[in-house]
Amino acid sequence: MSRLPRLVAASLAISLLCACSSLIGGPKETPKLYAPVLHPQADVAWPQVAWSLATTRSSSMPILEGPGIVVSPAPGELQVYRGALWARSPSELVEDSVLHTLEASGKIAAVARQNSGMDADYRLLLEVREFRADYTGNAVPAARLDINAKLLYANDLSIVGSRNFQLTQPASDTEVASVVSAFGQALDRLAGQIAGWALTTGQAHEQAAHRPATRR
């Protein structure tokens, strides 16, 4: 455990890291907030679409809705960095990165969050299943992300497509700032993959829906 600086065991019932540090008798410290720097990566090969999209988010575990930066020093073991918090929850970070990538691409008529009130043609559901720094026997952690994306047709809420996106981005060292930087790189790459898939999948559905019926 000596290789994991400033870590404290996490309980799923504990949402604030400062409260967790007080439980083990350590001195309280003002937590530092971290937000990955995002660089949206659009692809000119993505289709230009005339429909609109609304995004929504969820997560598979309560700990992923909290502000703690989760780290796994060994398989099946979850901890959080003490004195460090995400400025936004992992599910919000994922949704933000996908939304900003789609906006920056200029390939879609309109995109917004589900609660914006926009009457969108499609809905993109993003479920965060993994969002953690993972050692897995290595001396330096890697940011590990696992996101399930579902594209729904808003008219009848039918599932147009569903896909899992997994990505691992090694950090340069064990410092929290380096781990956060690795998450930022991973988010950029993953958001690009999800955005491109959503545009391509939605456009294929649009073309199929408006294709003339074949005569028999």
Share of the chain above pLDDT 90, in %: 75
Q: How far is CA 103 from the centre of its chain?
A: 16
Please give the model's pTM, rounded to 2 decimal places: 0.84
CATH of the structural domain 7-209, one choice from 1.10.1040.10, 3.40.50.10610, 3.40.980.10, 3.90.1110.10: 3.40.50.10610
Q: 200: alpha, beta or left, given left = phi > 0 and alpha = psi -120 to 50?
A: alpha
User: How far is 141 from 148, CA to CA, in rounded Å?
Assistant: 23
The pLDDT tens digits for 74-123 are: 998 999 999 999 999 999 999 999 999 999 999 999 999 998 989 999 99
